[in-house]
Structure 1
């Protein structure tokens, strides 16, 4: 006798980690809260806490996601890179908007960032490419490399709870 996929999925435990205490005072700048949460994830041993799912708009308006590494974050936005000729690059050229999601299951925390995407300067893009390892630069045409910034209009800090009374801290422009 087999069980349905639904039963299997429902049998898996979720939101079982211990969530850190929420801050009692929130910073005015969401970047400060993000860096605090990121540092706490690092201190807790979360593997690759700077990895995020970037979702762009594909053909016919269909969302398209992939995991990438955050390159930088500051008042200008959340930086990520790739080639202009990649699927991601082609999609951003047509629809310069995206969403980025970080998930730290060991802390039952997630951060969602959404907004418009802008290209960084040529100098910043060249510096990003130069900072990559030789192996990572191999085969990449410098003229094709891009550094983009996701300039958020909305940032949501989500902390899960086993009792499903989740907490959300939302910053909007």
Structure 2
């Protein structure tokens, strides 16, 4: 086991030529920055730039993460889909609070989107089902598209020295966004 520890410590972190996140230049709406970062990841050829870790909680409060694909981003939130009877579907039924974590390794960028998930209409869900590679021509009444309506979004831009730049947005009860630089150690 000591060999693994040394091998892990010896792995490179981030290169010097990473993008810069200027907290003074971020937009008022965090979705604008998210879409810009997502588009940059797509344009630079990042592998599966729409993949994210999706975190829900079990009945006992244990967080559970798994990888999902982002389906859309619009005024209602960040779309994803699953079976209603899947573990994540059941967990969302009990507690709709969830987080998405996107990581674009090539640019050293990470975004955490936290909020409340809600089911979208059956028309949206069935249209999504029909676009799946495994679609056989039959509807799936168990298939559900959800949207995560965020109330927190944190952007992190890695730096070679690991003093990463982090900006967190929070939405108030009136729906207005504010943001600040996160000054605590990363994590």
Kept in 2: contact 1:79–1:149 (CA 8 A): yes
Kept in 2: contact 1:17–1:108 (CA 8 A): no
Unaligned runs of 5+ in 1: none
Q: Which residue of 2 aligns with 1:147?
A: 145
| Offset at residue 169 of structure 1 (A) | 1.7
| Offset at residue 143 of structure 1 (A) | 1.1
Kept in 2: contact 1:18–1:108 (CA 8 A): no
Cα RMSD of the aligned pairs, angstroms, is 1.9
Distance between the aligned counterparts of 1:50 and 1:37, measured in 2? 11
Are residues 151 and 140 of structure 1, via their aligned partners in 2, closer, same or farther at CA, if it must alter by over 3 Å?
A: farther
Are residues 139 and 7 of structure 1, via their aligned partners in 2, closer, same or farther at CA, if it must alter by over 3 Å?
A: farther
Q: Which residue of 2 aligns with 1:113?
A: 113
TM-score normalised according to structure 1 size: 0.90
TM-score normalised according to structure 2 size: 0.84
- Residue 170 of structure 1 aligns to a residue in which SS? strand
- Does residue 164 in structure 1 map to residue 162 in structure 2? yes
Unaligned runs of 5+ in 2: 172-187
Distance between the aligned counterparts of 1:5 and 1:140, measured in 2? 49
- Does residue 22 in structure 1 map to residue 21 in structure 2? yes
When the two structures are aligned, how many residues end up with a matched partner? 170
| Offset at residue 141 of structure 1 (A) | 5.9
- Residue 48 of structure 1 aligns to a residue in which SS? coil
User: Counterparts in 2 of 1:1-173, with a 5 A limit?
Assistant: 3-16=2-15, 18-22=17-21, 25-133=25-133, 136-138=134-136, 142-173=140-171
| Offset at residue 139 of structure 1 (A) | 9.7
Runs of 4 or more, structure 1, over 4 Å off, are 138-141
